[in-house]
A and B are shown apart, each in its own frame.
Chain A
Amino acid sequence: MTALPTTTKKKLGLVIDLDTCVGCHACVTACKGWNTQNYGAPLSDQDPYGKASGTFLNRIHSFQVTPERDDGAPVLAQTVHFPKSCLHCEDAPCVTVCPTGASYKRAEDGIVLVNEDACMGCGLCAWACPYGAREADAAAGIMKKCTLCVDRIYNENLPEIDRQPACVRTCPAGARHFGDLADPTSDVSILVAERGGVDLMPEQGTKPVNQYLPPRPRDTIGMTGPATGAADTLSGEEDILAPFLASVTEEPQGFLGWLDRALEKL
């Protein structure tokens, strides 16, 4: 058993915007590229040109979602891209389960790390993590996980603007944000407040630091109204769904008459 710090001065973490993530996997390979070269052992790949499996600290899962409406009206299915990496939980079960003290949560910033010198690769942490965020590296025989690019975010050899995790720096859509979630005035905390950021699986009691911003409501054009079922019945000039389309063709001399008068007004 390894102890967690009672509090951490900062809670560094990621805010991931599910309304904006297009599922491009840029964060996945930028993470792999930085972390195979930096902190600890390289991220190995087995049979890389055959069946291929390897260690990734960040992966994107894609889900098909068909929401239900209270009134049972039909809705359209959606695709949700869900990037997942270590959430640097306040009550990280992967740390407390670690028999060697290799897993630890940093007191100064809350980052959960593996001290690879002390890790024996037993995999208990992976079993304990409800998010599946830890991976056993088959070549190194140790556990790997997101470091929040601890070797970037304070790195004085990098320009200040680049002192952020590789996944955040590379994200083309700007769907990933990094900052201190303990500071209510930080950009990430404000974003979470404004957009209703949520804990992933709060019922697990892990108090994840990383936050997810939920997708905004989808499919409102022509699907709203009393019930979406109306979409099949409404039509024609009475259409309450299309209030900006009052016809000009019923005006005197029809469309060309309207055109002539409109041109005169220009």
Chain B
Amino acid sequence: MNQPVLNLSPKVSDEIRKTTCYMCACRCGIDVHMINQPDGSQKVSYIEGNRDHPVNRGVLCAKGSAGIMQHNSPARLRAPMKRAGERGSGEFEEISWEEAYSIAESWLRPIRETDPSKLAFFTGRDQSQSFTSWWAQAFGTPNYAAHGGFCSVNMAAGGIYTMGGAFWEFGQPDWDRAKLFLLFGVAEDHDSNPIKMGLGKLKKRGAKVVGINPVRSGYNAVADDWFGITPGTDGLLILSLVHCLLKAGKIDLEYLRDFTDAPVLIDADPASPTHGLALLDDDGHKLVWDRTEKRARCYDAADVNPDLAGVWDVDGVRHRTVFVHLAEKYLDAAYTPEAVAGRVGIPAPRIRALASEIARVAFDEAIELDREWTDFRGRIHKTMKGRPVAMHAMRGISAHANGFQTCRALHMLQILIGSVETPGGFRFKPPYPKAATAHPKPHSKVTPGAPLDGPHLGFVQGPADLALKDDGTPARIDKAFTWDNPMSAHGMMHMVISNAHAGDPYRIDTLFMYMANMAWNSSMNTSGTMEMLSDKDANGDYVIPHIIYSDAYSSEMVAYADLILPDTTYLERHDCISLLDRPICEAEAAADAIRWPVVEPDRDVKGFQSALVDLGARLGLPGFVKDDGSRKFADYADYIVSHERRPGVGPLMGWRGNGEETGRGAPNPAQLDRYIENGGFAIAHIPEEAQFYKPWNKAYQDWAVEIGLFDKAAPYLFTLWCEPLRRFQLAAEGHGDRQPPEPLRARIKATMDPLPIWWDASLGQDGDGEFTVNALTQRPMAMYHSWGGQNAWLRQIHGRNPMYIPTKLWELHGFEEDGWARITSPHGAITVPVAHMPALNANTIWTWNAIGKRKGAWALHDNAPEVKEGFLLNHLIHELLPPKRDGMRWSNSDPITGQAAWFDLKVKIEKVSAPDGARSKPDSGTQKSPVGKGPDALAWEVG
């Protein structure tokens, strides 16, 4: 043999710097390998997962592993810019930061002094919302939110209003103990690596994975059982499962009795002004019927023995328990598998068999941990009982107009079998659990020259909390927290541009956005949005007078702004992934993390948050300046370390005070160094006896107070009966001073049921039967929205997005490989390439989201497949529903939360021949690239 001699131990790198990934919202820990350069600088040579990190334990996804191509992208912006051509043209002039700030100040200062609401400040996939919202609050505008409203507020709000926490960043399945796992909904993104790691754990143990999803891709490809449900009918399927379980008595009565509002007494007298509300004692505590003492008592009494069944008259008013209402509703024959099978697209026996499997695993394979714990009533439990059926959901179930109630239905199912916060089930991650009533309420009172009266976003409890002006008109530009969508907890970013363009409810002066590609894939009605952004009035002035935008890359939205504040890449910036926001906690630990500049930018760019610190200081915003008017924070890093939200509680929990304090403590100037030494994160483990039953577990509540999650113990009951919904219904029935507008009364009554309901949300989308096929999008696991399109490696994996067509439609229309289709909706038409996919719901088509790119954007060449045949489904989706002949245009949103109903879209398909040049339609024009085009060849190696 003539084998060459190899160096099997080559040097890997000169240094490893540990920071946090930002290729998606997962926030994994990464080891960034650095190689020294002759000039003394360092270059990034390789990125891999951090083995010590609580989120990813060393693994890293395709995006994270390709981060180096994001960091060196030719699409990176290089310096602040001001617009030099028409909006949309992409013509810019590079300017200094001083000039950029002075332009911004010249727009913002007069607004703040006269009417702060003329600023609309919306941040997209922002991971610093506790900071950006604080800035907006100091400015005084009510018009602030991030992207949750068009993303998945139904998921968050449905969970928080029902059980004080939700999926994704808020909670996780008990991957180590679950024996049956149900994953609902289209999408393969959040909580990317933890879900993959969890699936791996389930598979290793031989646990059963069930996917309920119209599309059998990604996680559903490895599901042992796939239920290819009709989009928008998840709620109906879930209520049928509830029906089956109730009818068989396969519910956890002890759990329902002790930890939920199932025994709470509800006013059942239709004539009563409090009909449908809970019976309260004088201190506002909910009352239950005590089986032993035969009287109504406070739910948290130490020796209370709540009854679930029954009807009692209390002070002459008839009351029934929540559970009696619930059982009566769902035992109805409307929810039998046979009654729902046709609509959900799954045969009745499979629905019943799934219910049976849930019942079998929950009750015949129950588990018990030998851990003693004490509940909030002071009762000691010798063990922790568990129902090892875990459920989780992706965005798909929430992106419908019935999404909020669907998410509530899913949580009701989990709660009925006792599988929330119990071993083998679903577990919250700090700072959750936290009841909806423990969150702030929305604030919207504007005072010229002064801060807003409180946080913008929150959880309304009834009509009194709506963000309405004294004259009853919406206080916010997005109309969040109005009768149109009262519980819009994350705001409604998707309505901002169209409302601002229409001057409805009022005109604004400056639109200020961050990291949200609203001129492209993040807006419904993309073509219309591009027109609104560039539309001019009779005087030739832009209808939306000023647009400031911050992005790190030459996106489509950049071309539509007047002033660009260039952001850094994720390896060049400071960030904190904070307990005040969406931290990186695990079910058994609180954790937070930082980003820090592992390399300094080689361009004239600045982390957006530092730019906000600068602007805050220039404008003299409270909190951003000292008493003498001088700036308070040098930059965002200084804010992260120095800011205190409450005394002793700041953005980061680790190494506070003298450096040894966790959670609470004075600011520690060396805090960031300690994070860097520890690999970029801090972790505080939850004591063993506090790791389950957290909402009711005394040890957990005490621990949470100790580390500063809240200031006093706050146990609560899960709320199967959502009283805030009922309060809006009561108003719609004519009770109370604050009354909904007449046209909305019937809809509020119908949709805001205090118990989960289902309705066909796609009604009205089908153009009287012309449009009958469901159309969806999801983004691939290996790409993150539009930002992946510039990534030389990832775009070779996902550079193309055909419309996937199921077998039945493929054959019906006679499609062939490499064929094309014209897809129309009541709103528009696209002409796109097609591909056959058998593992797909028979009446559903779908494509990858945000692959298509506008010519000139992202430094791509004109021959890029994303530019040529790539497309957006967004062109078919309007922010308003088709006209209903009632003279009104109804929002294409959930009537409860305002979440964008992306997935209620119905379309028609026709086979067409390939368009000229095999180029998809519509043609969205061209923007000039302010950064040129990417290189013609790459052979990436850092020497």
Contact = CB atoms under 8 A, between A and B. Distances in A.
Nearest to A156: B9
Interface in B277-310: 291, 307-310
Contact of B356 (A22, A77, A244): A244
B746 interface: no
B839 A42 contact: no
B797 A28 contact: yes
B918 to A, nearest CB: 13
A223 interface: yes
Interface in B14-61: 45-49, 51, 56, 58-61
A38 B840 CA distance: 41
B203 interface: yes
Contact of B11 (A157, A216, A218): A157
B221 A52 contact: no
A79 B215 CA distance: 10
Contacts of B914: none
A180 to B, nearest CB: 16
A82 B864 CA distance: 26
Contact residues on A (Cβ < 8 Å of other chain), bracket: 35 or more
Contacts of B941: 36-37, 42
B248 interface: yes
Interface string B302-332: 0000011110000000000001100100010
Interface string B792-805: 11111101000000
Contacts of B6: 113, 150-151
Given A64-B839, A266-B253, A158 B12 contact: yes
B88 interface: no
Interface string B325-348: 001000100000110000000011
A171 interface: yes
Interface in A174-225: 174-175, 215-223
Interface string A109-145: 0000101010000000000000000000001100000
A23 B217 contact: yes
A47 interface: yes
Contacts, number: 340
Interface string B198-227: 011101100010100000111111111110
Contacts of A169: 48-49, 58-59
Interface string A17-39: 10111111110111011101110
Interface stretch (B62-70, B131-139, B487-495): B62-70
B250 A245 contact: yes
Given A170-B59, A222-B354, A263 B253 contact: yes
Contacts of B221: 22-23, 62, 78-81
B380 interface: no
Given A260-B309, A263-B308, A104 B216 contact: no
A45 B934 CA distance: 12
A106 interface: yes
A189 to B, nearest CB: 17
B356 A241 contact: yes
Contact of B244 (A52, A150, A217, A245): A245
B373 to A, nearest CB: 19
Contact of B200 (A33, A42, A174): A174
Max chain A C-beta neighbours (<10 A), residue from B4, B58, B64, B217: B4
Contact of A30 (B65, B228, B359): B65
Nearest to B940: A36
B62 A26 contact: yes
B9 A155 contact: yes
B360 A244 contact: yes
B382 interface: no
B561 to A, nearest CB: 23
Contacts of A3: 1
A106 to B, nearest CB: 6
Given A26-B62, A37-B45, A44-B939, A219 B225 contact: yes
A75 to B, nearest CB: 11
B51 A161 contact: yes
Given A107-B3, A173-B197, A29 B65 contact: yes
A222 B224 contact: no
Contacts of A68: none
A173 B65 CA distance: 15
Contacts of A215: 222
Interface string B854-865: 000001111111
Given A42-B939, A45-B796, A50 B864 contact: yes
B257 A172 contact: no
A47 B937 contact: yes
Given A32-B793, A172-B193, A26 B11 contact: no
Given A33-B68, A255-B246, A77 B838 contact: yes
Contacts of A255: 246-247, 327, 331
A234 B781 CA distance: 38
Interface of A: 3, 5, 17, 19-26, 28-30, 32-34, 36-38, 41-54, 56, 62, 64, 66, 76-81, 101, 104, 106-107, 113, 115, 117, 139-140, 150-151, 154-158, 161, 166, 169-175, 215-223, 230-236, 239, 241-249, 255-256, 258-260, 262-263, 266
Interface of B: 1-4, 6-12, 45-49, 51, 56, 58-66, 68, 74, 188, 192-193, 196-197, 199-201, 203-204, 208, 210, 216-226, 228, 244-250, 253-254, 257, 291, 307-310, 323-324, 327, 331, 337-338, 347-357, 359-360, 363-364, 781-782, 790, 792-797, 799, 807, 836-840, 859-865, 933-942
Closest 8 CB pairs of A and B: A49-B934, A222-B353, A222-B350, A50-B861, A242-B356, A172-B196, A77-B838, A174-B200
21 contacts: A22-B219, A25-B782, A26-B60, A26-B782, A37-B46, A45-B938, A46-B936, A79-B221, A113-B6, A151-B9, A171-B59, A172-B59, A173-B197, A218-B225, A219-B226, A222-B349, A222-B350, A223-B225, A235-B337, A244-B363, A259-B308
